[in-house]
Amino acid sequence: MRRYDTIVVGAGPAGSTAAYRLASAGASVLLLDRARFPRDKPCGGGVTERAARLLPFPLDPVVEHVVTAADLRLRYGRQVARGTGAPIAYMTQRKRLDHYLAQRAAEAGADFRDGTRVTAVENGEGGVSVAADGERYTGEALVAADGVNGLSARALGLGGNQHVGVALEGNLPYAKLPPGRYHGRLVMELGTVRGGYGWVFPKGDHANFGVGGWASEGPALRGHLRRLCAAHDVSFEDLEELRGYRLPLRSARSALAKGRALLVGDAAGLIDPVSGDGMFEGFLSAQYASDAVLAVLAGRESTLEPYGARLARRLAAHLWTSWGIKVALDRFPRIAFSLATLPPVWRGIEAVLRGDVSDVGAVRGLARPPLKALAMLARATGNPGQAFREA
Ligand SMILES: Cc1cc2nc3c(=O)[nH]c(=O)nc-3n(C[C@H](O)[C@H](O)[C@H](O)COP(=O)(O)OP(=O)(O)OC[C@H]3O[C@@H](n4cnc5c(N)ncnc54)[C@H](O)[C@@H]3O)c2cc1C
């Protein structure tokens, strides 16, 4: 049985980009996924500009729509339109995006085996091993990228989420929507779902309608989605491919690496608390993970453990702000909405989404006083993001 430099479990955005980076750097990589590709994954498919910038190859072949403006509404009442005209997000369909990413990894030299379910992972003294479909594979390092429902984190004694949110989404063909209504713009319906929001994302031939929030909102999600459809004068019954999924939010003290194994993407619980996005974090963790694996393969490090602290440091300020805005919107929706949608603040948020600044804390100028007010609201609710700054 061949021994690989790295075994990557899961070929979602995090796993495939890690496999691509490692294979491109000359490592031998085995990339396993239980699904047959192309496969779908419940997701809005929105890739922010900052996420796209992390990809080491162009995203264009799978971009269906470019979003340059946002309609932000509070409780289906007061609405503001924001956007500087620069791209905020590239809209994709996960079936196409994930297939494209896995193909890039395979072209770079990764041994991609889809339709291969991993049933056990082990992190030993002399390397790692993986059992899948009756075979045993061994390697120097393991990148666990098997998502929120994967087995790796638990089997390795890593990870740990403080919350696992829920979301439900479906698609509506443009033929059933007012012509041009969502062209170039996304919609965020804030204050409508506890711990989350509703959205409409434009794609190539349809728009994606979805709602997500705290896990306790699970039983109410269909009702929330009906309400979203009604607010947009469309029929809930016309939604196609309706499906739900979970959104993992890691706790500040969860371990992300041990010995020769590490977690990336949703397996690590890296969802952004306020937006529910996870692809930026998936691509970022893949980049940090491949650097850590290459350091071990080159003999510069003996374990992957420095990865955990490096990634946590990179995301700490971002998580503090994101958790803060989330709890402020939940507890004080009117005032938090008014502050977050002020033009200078929104320009700051857009700068973060584009990757021009690393987090809202780095935004300067007229946005500072309202951002400080938002931080005070967050503190008043006992911002759970504080723990990431202290970890
Ligand atoms: C409704 C919804 C909307 C969302 N919208 C957005 C959005 O618009 N933008 C955004 O950035 N993020 C969004 N997210 C979050 C985003 O979908 C995730 O963060 C992202 O998919 C994480 O990527 P990943 O590679 O870590 O895991 P996944 O995409 O979940 O991939 C994990 C892979 O592991 C495989 N796997 C699992 N178990 C095994 C096993 N035992 N053996 C082999 N393979 C296995 C699976 O088949 C899968 O292919 C949304 C999430 C939801 C639920």
| 166 and 213 part of one domain | yes
* Ligand 1 center–CA 41 separation, angstroms: 6
Q: Find out whether the beta carbon of 279 lies less than 6 Å from any atom of ligand 1.
A: yes
Tell me the CA distances in angstroms from 71 to 113, 205, 220, one per residue in order: 42, 20, 24
Measure the CA dihedral 357/333/280/231, to 10°: -130
DSSP letters of 104-160? HHHHTT-EEE-S--EEEEEEETTEEEEEETTEEEEEEEEEE---TT-SHHHHHT-EE
- Supply the pLDDT for residue 359: 82
Contacts (Cβ under 8 Å, ≥6 apart) of 344: 365, 366, 367, 370
> ∠ CA 111-116-119 to the nearest 5 degrees?
120
> ∠ CA 12-315-164 to the nearest 5 degrees?
55
* Ligand 1 center–CA 99 separation, angstroms: 13
> Which residues in the chain show pLDDT less than 50?
none
| 128 and 269 part of one domain | yes
Q: Find out whether the beta carbon of 9 lies less than 6 Å from any atom of ligand 1.
A: yes
- Supply the pLDDT for residue 115: 98
Residue in the structure block whose two tokens are 């390697």: 139
Where is 168: in which H helix or E strand?
Answer: strand 159-173
Task: Supply the residue whose CA is at minimum distance from atom 17 of ligand 1.
Answer: 43
Which residue from 71, 123, 80 is spatially nearest to 303, judged by alpha carbons? 123
* Ligand 1 center–CA 370 separation, angstroms: 34
Q: Find out whether the beta carbon of 11 lies less than 6 Å from any atom of ligand 1.
A: yes
- Assign 20 to helix, strand or coil: helix
* Ligand 1 center–CA 230 separation, angstroms: 29
Q: Find out whether the beta carbon of 202 lies less than 6 Å from any atom of ligand 1.
A: no
| 257 and 152 part of one domain | yes
| 24 and 117 part of one domain | yes
* Ligand 1 center–CA 104 separation, angstroms: 18
Q: Find out whether the beta carbon of 384 lies less than 6 Å from any atom of ligand 1.
A: no
| 13 and 127 part of one domain | yes
| 102 and 156 part of one domain | yes
Q: How far apart are CA 148 and CA 123, in angstroms?
A: 20
CATH number reported for the structural domain that contains residue 80 in this entry: 3.30.9.10
Question: Could you say which of 261, 279, 314 is where a domain stops?
Answer: 314
Q: Find out whether the beta carbon of 8 lies less than 6 Å from any atom of ligand 1.
A: no
Neighbours of 163 (CB within 10 A): 17
**pLDDT, tens digit, 9 for 90 and up, residues 35-74:** 999 999 999 999 999 999 999 999 999 999 999 999 999 9
Terminal-to-terminal C-alpha distance of the chain: 41
Neighbours of 128 (CB within 10 A): 24
* Ligand 1 center–CA 381 separation, angstroms: 30
- Supply the pLDDT for residue 358: 84
| 304 and 257 part of one domain | yes
- Assign 93 to helix, strand or coil: coil
| 45 and 144 part of one domain | yes
DSSP state of 59: -
Residue in the structure block whose two tokens are 């170039």: 184
| 47 and 133 part of one domain | yes
The CA-based diameter of the chain, rounded to the nearest angstrom, is 63
| 15 and 115 part of one domain | yes
* Ligand 1 center–CA 29 separation, angstroms: 20
| 156 and 172 part of one domain | no
* Ligand 1 center–CA 342 separation, angstroms: 32
Q: Find out whether the beta carbon of 10 lies less than 6 Å from any atom of ligand 1.
A: yes
* Ligand 1 center–CA 391 separation, angstroms: 26
Residue in the structure block whose two tokens are 């794609």: 203
* Ligand 1 center–CA 13 separation, angstroms: 7
- Supply the pLDDT for residue 363: 87
- What φ, ψ does residue 104 adopt, rounded to 5°? -60, -40
CATH number reported for the structural domain that contains residue 24 in this entry: 3.50.50.60
Give strand ranges (E) for 195-234: 197-202, 206-213
**pLDDT, tens digit, 9 for 90 and up, residues 254-285:** 999 999 999 999 999 999 999 999 999 999 99
Q: Find out whether the beta carbon of 278 lies less than 6 Å from any atom of ligand 1.
A: yes
Domain count for the chain: 3
Q: Find out whether the beta carbon of 196 lies less than 6 Å from any atom of ligand 1.
A: no
Which residue from 41, 42, 63, 40 is spatially nearest to 51, judged by alpha carbons? 63
Residue 51 CA: nearest ligand 1 atom is 11
Residue 270 CA: nearest ligand 1 atom is 19
| 44 and 113 part of one domain | yes
- For 34, the token pair is 């239980």
Q: How far apart are CA 277 and CA 302, in angstroms?
A: 33
- Could you tell which of 208, 266, 288 is best to mutate to test the pocket of ligand 1, judged by most ligand atoms within 8 Å of the CB? 266
Question: Could you say which of 246, 270, 289 is where a domain stops?
Answer: 246
Give the range of the structural domain holding residue 345, as residue numbers without chain letter.
316-390
* Ligand 1 center–CA 214 separation, angstroms: 18
Residue 169 CA: nearest ligand 1 atom is 1
Q: How far apart are CA 267 and CA 159, in angstroms?
A: 8
Q: Find out whether the beta carbon of 248 lies less than 6 Å from any atom of ligand 1.
A: no
Question: Could you say which of 214, 246, 278 is where a domain stops?
Answer: 246
- Could you tell which of 20, 21, 30, 34 is best to mutate to test the pocket of ligand 1, judged by most ligand atoms within 8 Å of the CB? 34
Tell me the CA distances in angstroms from 182 to 186, 190, 203, one per residue in order: 7, 17, 9
Do the Cβ atoms of 298 and 370 come closer than 8 Å?
no
- For 229, the token pair is 């459809």
Strands 127-132 and 65-67 turn out to be unpaired
